[in-house]
Amino acid sequence: MSWAIILHGGAKEIDPEDVDAHRVGCLRALEAGRRVLAGDGSAVDAVEAAIRVLEADPTFNAGFGSALNADGAVEMCASIMEGSGFNVGGVAVIRGVQHPISVARALLFKEEILLAGDGARRFAAENDCELCHFAALVPRSTGRKPVHLHDTVGCVALDSAGRMAVGTSAGGLDGAATGRVGDSPMPGCGFYVDDTVGGVAFSGDGEQIARRMLAAGVLHRMPNASPDAALQSALHDVARIGGSAGGIVLTPAGAFGWQHNSRDFAVAYQSSRMAEPACFANKAQAGH
């Protein structure tokens, strides 16, 4: 049985001088996930490993390098889901943890599917997740102006046992209302996975993505549509209400899809059938 993994670094505009950092970051994260899958590890482990790398990289608006909300605080969201038992673990408006995806992972097989705020951080502490000072997630000034209009990170993986998983991690939006929750911890909106149909993760205008339940829309279309066609029609849905987004899809057969109506959408993917990973900053760069 073969494995496959696809991830993205957010639907947004990438400054030309940041394109390389996005490519390098995506490829590093892909390698972390690939290593897990090539060693017959699980899709859940691969997704967590890949997203941890993206969270540690200030290029991306997740974990270290997250946006500051209206009160100047970092509040993050993350989720992980596996597609055989439909287990979901999510955290919302969590502060002071280094890897929100690992907190979500600790919740994955528990009854609750989403913990928010202080309760989420307490759960992180009780489950040996890495805590940090609230301010430690803000990188010291690099002299560059961070642009955090959009950019949740996401990953979908298929392991050699045929199991699938999806994860998202979001650092919030610059100046967002304190306590705001976007689409990324909402199953059926920012993500979903079903081993028999496929997995999908979105980034973009969270409220619009949630209003149109984009991930659910993609999965409903997928039995009769290619991953790219399913993504395209979901993007039309969100564009109709003024939203911009990007999404990645992986099928149980290992087929990839990725589409965006944001200007850029850095993506990397690889499967056991590919000698080298593929990595692009947007569709134009991919030549289609």
Q: Quick check: 9 binds ligand ASP (CB under 6 A)?
A: no
142 is catalytic: no
Q: Quick check: 75 binds ligand ASP (CB under 6 A)?
A: no
Q: Quick check: 100 binds ligand ASP (CB under 6 A)?
A: no
In terms of Cα–Cα distance, which of 167, 155, 154, 161 is closest to 3?
161
Min. distance of Cβ 142 from ligand ASP in angstroms? 20
Q: What are phi and psi of 234, to 5 degrees?
A: -65, -40
Min. distance of Cβ 204 from ligand ASP in angstroms? 5
In terms of Cα–Cα distance, which of 175, 151, 161 is closest to 59?
151
3-state percent helix, strand, coil for the chain, nearest multiple of 5: 35, 25, 40
In terms of Cα–Cα distance, which of 267, 218, 211 is closest to 239?
211
Min. distance of Cβ 27 from ligand ASP in angstroms? 20
Compute the distance between CA of residue 258 and CA of residue 217 in angstroms, rounded to an integer.
Answer: 15
Compute the distance between CA of residue 280 and CA of residue 191 in angstroms, rounded to an integer.
Answer: 21
Q: Quick check: 208 binds ligand ASP (CB under 6 A)?
A: no
With contact defined as beta carbons under 8 Å apart, do 7 and 253 qualify? no
With contact defined as beta carbons under 8 Å apart, do 166 and 89 qualify? no
Can you tell me which of 79, 203, 251, 271 binds ligand ASP, judged by CB under 6 A?
203
Compute the distance between CA of residue 70 and CA of residue 175 in angstroms, rounded to an integer.
Answer: 4
Can you tell me which of 59, 184, 259, 282 binds ligand ASP, judged by CB under 6 A?
184
Active-site choice (152, 168, 178, 196): 152
Nearest CB to ligand ASP, comparing residues 215 and 219 = 215
Nearest CB to ligand ASP, comparing residues 150 and 221 = 150
What are the tokens at 13?
A: 């505009």
Nearest CB to ligand ASP, comparing residues 27 and 173 = 173
Q: Return the C-alpha torsion angle 188, 43, 268, 150, nearest 10.
A: 40
Nearest CB to ligand ASP, comparing residues 211 and 220 = 211
Residues 145-174, interacting with ligand ASP (CB under 6 A): 150-152, 170, 173
Q: Quick check: 78 binds ligand ASP (CB under 6 A)?
A: no
Min. distance of Cβ 203 from ligand ASP in angstroms? 3
Nearest CB to ligand ASP, comparing residues 184 and 271 = 184
With contact defined as beta carbons under 8 Å apart, do 267 and 26 qualify? yes
Q: Quick check: 96 binds ligand ASP (CB under 6 A)?
A: no
Give the nearest residue (CB) to ligand ASP: 206
DSSP assignment letter at 1: -
Segment contacting ligand ASP by CB under 6 A, of 103-111, 137-145, 199-207, 229-237: 199-207
Chain centroid, CA 271 distance in Å: 18
Residues labelled as active-site residues: 152
Give the footprint of ligand ASP on this chain (CB under 6 A). 10-11, 150-152, 170, 173, 182-184, 203-204, 206
